[in-house]
Structure 1
Amino acid sequence: MSQRKYALELLHLAGILDEKPSNIPLDPTINLTDNIGEPLPDATQYRTIVGKLIYLTITRPDLYFAAQILSQFSQSPKTSHFQALYKVLRYIKVSPGQGLHFPQHTSLSLQAYCDSDWAKCSTSRRSVTGYCIYLGSCLISWQSKKQTVVSRSSTEVEYRALVDCTCEITWLQSLLHDLHVPTTTLVPIFCDNASTIALAANPVQHARTKQIKIDCHFVRDKVKAGQLSIHFIPSAAQIADVLTKPLSKAPFHTCKHISLLKEKVTMRKLQKWHMRLSLQLSLYIYNPNRKL
């Protein structure tokens, strides 16, 4: 499923069909802020293209983070924002027909990846949450958004991302149940933060987690009830990373091939990563006052 015709119309509207393509949508070395660049004399074109870009993300999760960032400057865009927008369009030119693949035969088990980028916004210092959820090998839900509060630690940020992912999984399970689609009860969630995994399994409250809202801890109840299982995954293999920050060419294209990477991660390397992490988690769980 793709929006190739719509993507080509967007490139024609922006007048960049003859421009050089770009390998990545955003430059990871550039931090977009409100005070870089000159104000645009007319922001109409910027807002129009950003609006169309958001619609294109229906079938292009690789553009979701870029659209989320650029839409924040729609009220008063600067020249730097317009240049970043054109880079995204030049990236679309590489493969305007790219979209989502839904094979005819796949399993009906839910599986999720969640990640976050601590204090990503240099203006508000709020973090970015990103997650993607699969039904078998089909990507059916993804999100990239700025968190509503400022977090004091990376553990808190990752835990809030885990909460958002859990809420989406709960809704999807209810939807699939209403559609009479049988799914597995236990849903694995892959996270690259060892402290977050420990908090989801550790029943002991301590000073490290007092600043986290009480409602965040319903993840722990889901784990106890056998509805969720939280697994460690290395950051290099975290495919939700593409939804939280700009990436360089190599890691971006690694995350981009979502279905192939997901099978490789869950089937071949999960046991090895669990063994590598077991000692660290054991030390944390049995010593809750240990500094992370």
Structure 2
Amino acid sequence: MKEVFEKCDYEHTFFIKTNKDGKVLIVSLYVDDLIFTGNDELMFAEFKHSMKHEFDMTDLGKMRYFLGLEVLQKSDGIFISQKKYALEVLNIFGMDKSNSVFNPIVPGCKLVKDEGGVKVDKTYYKQVIGSLIYLTATRPDLIFVVSIISRHMENPTELHLQAAKRVLRYLRGTIDFGIFYRKGGDDELVAYTDSDYAGDLEDRKSTSGYVFLLSSGAISWSSKKQPVVSLSTTKAEFIAATSCACQAVWLKRVLGKLDQNQSRSCVIQCDSSSAVKLSKNPIMHGRSKHIDVRFHFLRDLTKDGSVELVYCDTQEQLADIMTKPLKLNTFVKLRGQLGVCSKTCSIQFKGGNVSFLCLSYWFSG
């Protein structure tokens, strides 16, 4: 019987084909571009032959560049970056010869509406922000500051533009940075969640942040202002943890389809003991009665074992980099723990076996 591809219900760009021997072929499609990977050379050859027979396709071989992402596949792991795109951004905005800085935002900085400030061109400011947003695809160290400066696109002033230009100056000094996924790294999904209580000085809403690690590198991250005003740090942390838990459910399902089943609960590290207790104890009514019902979804996930919220020390909280401006030494430490490094640093890592042979890239001619 002819084997067919199965469409992933949780990520519609994924198509998976498996055979009786446990071999797998995974295809990701974007418009007329596709990449594929797997653990069997014969399945690769059969797939290429069938595609050439049905469509006018060009085989570009081992993937090196895809939608602005540069992929360096080596014997000890895979390094992804956006160096070429970052250089183009710096050239477009005239920052290619600017002095570099060591962090993208001044520690302790709080950006607010600058009603009396000098207005700047909205279109230019939005172009800068849009370019930086695309760079966060491989740069989790930028996600917090980009989230902050993007809140002021409607009425930007010199204050906001200077903050955006500082990000570009930081980018110039870290132009070859990306994420390194080490061969033989931990295949268990681990998450960190954090919040910055009432961090927005205008509406007093908190910022949620989370990051997921797999194979020694970050695979999913977020920094986002919460939809409601939190009445306590516990509530702010609980809301952030709920958002993280929802992402954990989706990631576990996608990884399961990719033959990377997560047998245990996804461990979510949280530096709020109150939020951890609240996720496990439904009778803490006095401390939780003001929290919206939708956020108690976390309790259901904890109860059925999908996720496990555990306490971690604030000094080891990786998601801090997603929620607040940090001191330089703390920022550099957490950035490294996310797997963010330069191309030259990535060659120092050593490891064991890789799950998949390689990534290959095709496009329709």
Would the TM-score normalized by the shorter structure come out above 0.5?
A: yes
Aligned equivalents of 1:243, 1:260: Cα separation in 2 = 15
Superposed CA offset, 1:157-202 (max 9, x none) = 0000010000000011111222332222311110001101111122
Post-superposition Cα deviations, 1:124-151, rounded to whole Å, max 9, x if no partner, equal 1110000001223231110000000001
Any conservation in 2 of the 1:37–1:80 contact (CA below 8 Å)? no
1:67 to 146, 156, 161: 146
**Percent identity of the aligned residues?**
37
SS at match of 2:269: strand
Q: Which residue is equivalent to 2:315?
A: 236
Structure 2 residue aligned with 1:12: 91
Q: In the alignment, is residue 134 of structure 1 matched against residue 213 of structure 2?
A: yes
Question: Greater CA deviation, 71-80 or 225-234?
Answer: 225-234
Would you say 1:185 and 2:261 are equivalent positions? no
Give the letter aligned to residue 262 of structure 2: T
Q: C-alpha separation between the residues in 2 aligned to 1:203 and 1:180?
A: 35
SS in 1 for 2:177: coil
Question: What's the counterpart of residue 296 of structure 2?
Answer: 217
Task: Output aligned runs, 1:268-287, within 5 Å.
Answer: none
Change in CA separation of 1:150 and 1:93 when aligned onto 2, cut-off 3 Å: same
Q: Give the drift of 1:259.
A: 4.4
| Paired residue type of 2:318 | I
Q: Which is further off, 138-147 or 39-48?
A: 39-48
Distance in 2 (alpha carbons) for counterparts of 1:31 and 1:259: 24
Aligned to 2:71: none
Separation in structure 1 between the aligned mates of residue 124 and residue 100 of structure 2, nearest angstrom: 21
Q: TM-score, normalised by structure 1?
A: 0.85
Verify the 8 A CA contact 1:23 1:94 in the aligned structure 2.
yes
User: What TM-score, normalized by structure 2, do the two folds share?
Assistant: 0.68
Helix, strand or coil: the match of 2:208?
A: strand
Matched with 2:166 is: 87
- The equivalences for 1:81-120 within 5 A come to 81-120=160-199
**Structure 2 CA distance for aligned equivalents of residues 42 and 167 of structure 1:** 38
Q: 1:62 to 1:259 in 2, by over 3 A?
A: closer
**Unaligned residue ranges in structure 1 (runs of 5+):** 262-292
- Is the 8 Å Cα contact of residues 108 and 184 (structure 1) preserved in structure 2? no
Look at both structures and tell me which one has the larger radius of gyration over its CA atoms.
Answer: 2
Unmatched tracts of structure 2, length 5 or more? 1-79, 341-365
Q: Which moved more, 1:18-27 or 1:37-46?
A: 37-46
Which moved further from structure 2: 235-244 or 103-112? 103-112
More strand as a share of residues: 2
C-alpha change, 1:90 and 1:260, in structure 2 (3 Å) is closer
RMSD: 1.7
Which one has the bigger helix percentage? Answer: 1
**Which is further off, 3-12 or 251-260?**
251-260
**Matched position secondary structure for 2:179:** coil
Q: Which amino acid aligns with 1:44?
A: T
The code of the aligned residue for 1:140 comes to I
Question: Structure 1 stretch 112-121 or stretch 132-141: which is displaced more?
Answer: 132-141
Which amino acid in 1 is paired with 2:227?
Answer: T
Tell me which residue corresponds to 1:26. Answer: 105
2:282 matched to 1:203? yes
Query: Which residue of structure 2 lines up, in the alignment, with residue 160 of structure 1?
Result: 239
SS of structure 2 residue aligned to 1:231: strand
Partner of 2:55: none
In structure 2, relative to structure 1, the CA distance for the partners of 1:22 and 1:198 (3 Å cut) is same
CA distance in 1, matches of 2:338, 2:85: 24
SS of residue matched to 1:93: helix
Q: How many residues align?
A: 261
Classify 1:203/1:173 alpha carbon distance in 2 versus 1 (closer, same or farther; 3 Å).
same
In structure 1, what is the Cα distance between the partners aligned to 2:108 and 2:318? 20
CA distance in 2, matches of 1:227, 1:136: 20
TM superposition shift of 1:36: 5.6
